[in-house]
Amino acid sequence: MRSRSFYDFKKLAQLIAITSQREEHAKEFASKWNLRLWYTDYLKMLEEADLDAVIISTPHYFHYTMVMNAIRMNKHVLVDKPMAINLKEADEMINEARKKGIKLGVILQSRFDPIVRKVKEAVNTGKLGRLILGEAIVEWFRT
């Protein structure tokens, strides 16, 4: 019997297309993952490719426009964090998705990390006392 956390992702989702502003990156990624469709214009991809949903992993200052365009084209959206550059944009994204019945989610890839959970538990149990200020420095290196 398989663990409850095991998923056969090929049954859950299928990667259809990729877009990148750099043609060579799009071609290389498409080739590596045997994708037939690649684009250098995300709007063209949203219009042409038979997509139910998109993942937006771009610099945060592009998120609002790209998410709103995807929602307007009836695509469900999973967007990298931060969702938007301000609360007004985030609220507009959420409201537009709700109006159209579109699923909108934000990638929070470290929320279940054991260290993060340990810190949350310490806060919740009062182990750290009453917190009035917090600061975090995350020393991750990403290429």
What does the pLDDT look like over 58-69, one tens digit per residue?
A: 999 999 999 999
> Percentage of residues in the chain with pLDDT exceeding 90?
73
The 3-state DSSP class for residue 115 equals: helix
C-beta of residue 53 within 8 angstroms of C-beta of residue 70: no
pTM (2 decimals)? 0.74
- Quick one: pLDDT at residue 10? 61
- Quick one: pLDDT at residue 1? 40
For the chain, the domains span: 9-111
71: tokens are: 């929602």
Domain covering 9-111 in this structure, CATH number: 3.40.50.720
pLDDT confidence band for 7 (50 / 70 / 90): low
- Quick one: pLDDT at residue 45? 97
Q: Would the pLDDT of 101 be above 80?
A: yes
User: 54: exposed, middle or buried (C-beta count within 10 Å: 0-12, 13-18, 19+)?
Assistant: buried
Residue-wise pLDDT for 127-140, tens only, equals 999 999 988 887 87
